[in-house]
Amino acid sequence: MAGDFDAVRLTYLTTTPEQVRAVVEAFAAARGLAQSQPPEPPAPSQISGSYGGEELRFRRFLCTYPLITLDLLQADPLHTRCLFATFRWQVMAARQPYRPHFAPRFERDSPFYRALPAAEQEQFWADLAHWPNPPQVDWAHMMVNMALGCDWLGDWRSFFLQPQQPLTLSEINARVAEQGFAIPEGWGK
């Protein structure tokens, strides 16, 4: 989602853009969704330029995180949203390691993650924490966007300057209220 949390940006990588566009347009028409911008032309052969320039690595991440996120959302949407909101405002803000925050949930609720060979799991953790160009979003941003429908673009830019104090659940709930959920007291990973 973008702007006022009322639009979805869809990017797809394909060798058959017209076929994919037809599927997307049929999906939107069947649900009464309107396009706010005309479809963009197919992505250039390199899309990783603003994200560190490692094309194959970036594309692999783009193909991995959605499947893990979909598993999590299917298992428990509210828990997933709480997991990612606390990640942004507690774990990432304080520059804590990501894996201890996420791994138990990924291992429990994501068949896709569990099926990854150990080397690919390790690569995923390295990619999730990758932030090659701090003026641009970190790679975790894409997974946060998918899980929450947004990210706090005005705030994350300060995360790379210096560690921040983790927010309390009450402070996080004040920020996510506009998204229609709250992290329950006593919530745990």
pLDDT surpasses 70 at 147? yes
- At 59, the amino acid letter reads R
- Alpha-carbon distance of 106 to 112, in angstroms, equals 9
- Alpha-carbon distance of 139 to 162, in angstroms, equals 18
The number of domains in the chain is 2
User: What pLDDT score was predicted for residue 3?
Assistant: 47
- Of how many residues is the chain composed? 189
**Quick one: average pLDDT of 84-89?**
93
Nearest alpha-carbon partner for 48 in 116, 115, 132: 132
pLDDT surpasses 60 at 123? yes
24 occurs within a structural domain: yes
Domain extent at residue 31: 1-43
State the sign of the Cα–Cα–Cα–Cα dihedral 9, 71, 87, 188.
Answer: positive
Which DSSP symbol is given to 51?
G
Q: How sure is the predictor about 1, in pLDDT bands with cuts at 50, 70 and 90?
A: very low
- Please give the model's pTM, rounded to 2 decimal places: 0.85
**Quick one: average pLDDT of 6-31?**
80
Q: Exposed, middle or buried, 148 (CB in 10 Å: 0-12/13-18/19+)?
A: buried
Phi, psi of 32 (to 5 degrees): 70, 30
pLDDT surpasses 60 at 48? yes
Q: How sure is the predictor about 57, in pLDDT bands with cuts at 50, 70 and 90?
A: very high
Of the candidate ranges 38-47, 64-73, 102-111, the one whose mean pLDDT is the lowest: 38-47
66 and 12 fall within a common domain: no
Q: How sure is the predictor about 171, in pLDDT bands with cuts at 50, 70 and 90?
A: very high
107 and 19 fall within a common domain: no
User: What pLDDT score was predicted for residue 184?
Assistant: 93
- Which residues lie closer than 8 Å to 174 by C-beta, 6 or more apart? none
pLDDT surpasses 60 at 105? yes
Identify whether the C-beta of residue 175 lies closer than 8 Å to the C-beta of residue 166.
Answer: no
pLDDT surpasses 50 at 2? no
186 occurs within a structural domain: no
User: What pLDDT score was predicted for residue 75?
Assistant: 97
12 and 98 fall within a common domain: no
22 and 109 fall within a common domain: no
Token pair listed for 117: 């060979």
Q: Exposed, middle or buried, 117 (CB in 10 Å: 0-12/13-18/19+)?
A: exposed
79 occurs within a structural domain: yes
95 occurs within a structural domain: yes
Q: How sure is the predictor about 179, in pLDDT bands with cuts at 50, 70 and 90?
A: confident
185 occurs within a structural domain: no
35 and 125 fall within a common domain: no
60 and 148 fall within a common domain: yes
